[in-house]
Structure 1
Amino acid sequence: MIVHHVTKSYGDQSVLNQVNITVREGEIYGLLGPNGAGKSTLIKCILGMVKQDEGEIIIRNCKVDPKRSNYLKNIGYVPDSPFLYNYLTPREYLEFISDLQGVPAGQKHNNINYLLEQFSLLDRQDDMISTFSHGMRHKLSVAGAIVHKPHVLLLDEPLSSFDPPTTKFMKSFLKDYASKGNIIFMSTHLVDIAQHLCDRVGILLNGSILKEYKDLEDLRDFENLIIRDMEATNADIS
């Protein structure tokens, strides 16, 4: 996946400024930054939900195009506040998403059974989603995002809703998913999650990539980068 010189503004407010990121197959890439840094906007640009002002985004030789089914079938997306249909069961929800994504009938049943088992939802498969906790709803949204086995999985602030055992499982599951040649691109403001899950991390601050880390032990510098940036901004204002 290639993000090349992507820029986005809303009126006079610059949200993304010449962002360049390349994510290789089999890699988990973390976009780390404080709230308001532009992380969610970049993910929405990759999805085609928001159109960038400049630059291009390419996945498997296809430029971003939300109207092209072959582009969207390569992508799974989990927002920070997932929307689910409360009066469906988990199985019905996954069947619905499978049909939307064009999963062949011969694969759909096996895919859904696998995900329900993996995500510990088999014993709740016939319960209404309206009865689910926030964490269970988020877990189901991840299952729905990968039911069509996308090449790229976009996660906006993942793991924030999970208890420790589920967080441990999700980290293992996502690493295994990436190991099969898929790309996981995730945003977070939590250093610990980035450090223990990602292969590489980019620091997004004020719409720009300040630095990329391959040695994730050095992520302790992250807070210092924010502090220095805030001090510089305050100095400019004064």
Structure 2
Amino acid sequence: MIIKDVSKRYKEYDVLKSINITLKRGEIYGLLGPNGAGKSTLLKCIIGLVTPDSGKIFIDGKTIDDDRSEFLQYIGYVPDTPFIYNYLTPKEYLDFIADLQQVPDSQKTDRIQMLLKNFSLKDKENEMISTLSFGMKHKLSVAGAIIHEPDVLLLDEPLSSFDPPTTMFMKKFLREYADSGKIIFMSTHLVHVAQNLCDRVGVLINGEILKEYTNMKNIINFENMIINDMEEIG
């Protein structure tokens, strides 16, 4: 996926300023920055919920302007506050999303059962979503986002409110999903999440990528490095 010269302005405020990022298959890219930096806006530009004022997003050489429906088939998206139909069951919800994403009937049932099992929701499959914990609802939203096996998974603050077991599960799942040849592009304001989970991290401040870090696992005292770099940039 290539994000090329993407800019967005609201009234007098430049939310995004000529963002350029190239993401490779098999990697988790973290967009690190404070609240209001423009992270969610960039994710919404990719999924088509926000139209950039300039620039393009390419996935396998295609843009959303070529064929919107086809382009969106490449993407799974989980916002920071997922919307889920509370009066469906997890099984019904995944069945509904599978139909929206045009998952073939021959694959749908097996895929739903696999996701319910892998996301530890099998024993809740026939209970109302309204009765599930926050962590279970969030896992269900991720399961729905990948039911069509998208090449690109977009996650807005995916680990900010999970309990430890759910956090451990999500980290393992995201690593395995990326390692299968997919791209994960996630936003976070948590430095430890960026270092422990991501392969590359771009620091977004006031709508600009100010610095990019690679080989995250080999960086010592990443939080102190971030603070020092921000002071130098400022």
TM-score (ref. length: structure 1): 0.93
Q: Shift in Å at residue 52 of structure 1? A: 0.5
Taking the aligned partners of 1:175 and 1:107, their CA distance within structure 2 comes to 24
Partner of 1:62: 62
Superposed CA offset, 1:75-109 (max 9, x none): 00000000000100000000000000000001111
Aligned to 1:177: 177
Q: How many residues align?
A: 230
Is the 1:6–1:53 contact (alpha carbons within 8 Å) kept by the matching residues of 2?
Answer: yes
Corresponding residue SS for 2:201: strand
Q: Match of 2:22, as an amino acid? A: T
Aligned residue number for residue 157 of structure 2: 157
CA contact (8 A) 1:138 1:161 kept: no
Correspondence 1:106 to 2:103: no
**Cα pair 1:73 1:150 within 8 Å, conserved:** yes
Q: Deviations over 1:130-171 (max 9, x none)?
A: 111111111110000001100000000001232111111111
- Of residues 203, 216, 222 in structure 1, which corresponds to 2:226? 222
- Note if 1:20 corresponds to 2:24: no
Please give the alpha-carbon distance, in whole angstroms, between the structure 2 residues aligned to 1:181 and 1:86.
33
Give the Å deviation of 1:66: 9.3
Tell me the amino acid that sits aligned with residue 97 of structure 2.
I
1:92-103 aligned at under 5 Å gives the runs: 92-103=92-103
The 3 A distance-change label for structure 1 pair 214 and 134 is same
Once the two structures are superposed, what CA deviation does each residue of 1:183-203 show, in whole Å capped at 9, x if it has no partner? 000000001111111110100
Partner of 1:35: 35
Q: Which residue of 1 is the match for residue 146 of structure 2?
A: 146
| 1:222 match: secondary structure | helix
Percent of residue pairs identical: 61
Secondary structure at 2:154 match in 1: strand
Counting only pairs closer than 5 Å after superposition, residues 38-49 of structure 1 correspond to structure 2 as 38-49=38-49
Name the counterpart of 1:6: 6
Distance 1:227 1:134, change over 3 A: farther
Gaps of 5+ in 1: 233-238
Structure 1 residues 209-218 or 115-124, which shifts more?
209-218
Task: Letter of the 1:103 partner, please give it.
Answer: V
Q: Residue type matched to 1:82 in 2?
A: P
Q: Which amino acid aligns with 2:30?
A: G
Amino acid at match of 1:223: I
Contact kept, 8 Å, 1:47 with 1:66, in 2: the verdict is no
* Partner in structure 2 of residue 235 of structure 1: none
Q: Which residue of 2 aligns with 1:52?
A: 52
Distance 2:106 2:12 in 1: 51
The 2-side partners of 1:90 and 1:194 are apart by: 30
Q: 2:203 maps to what in 1?
A: 203
* 1:80 counterpart SS class: coil
- RMSD after superposition: 1.4
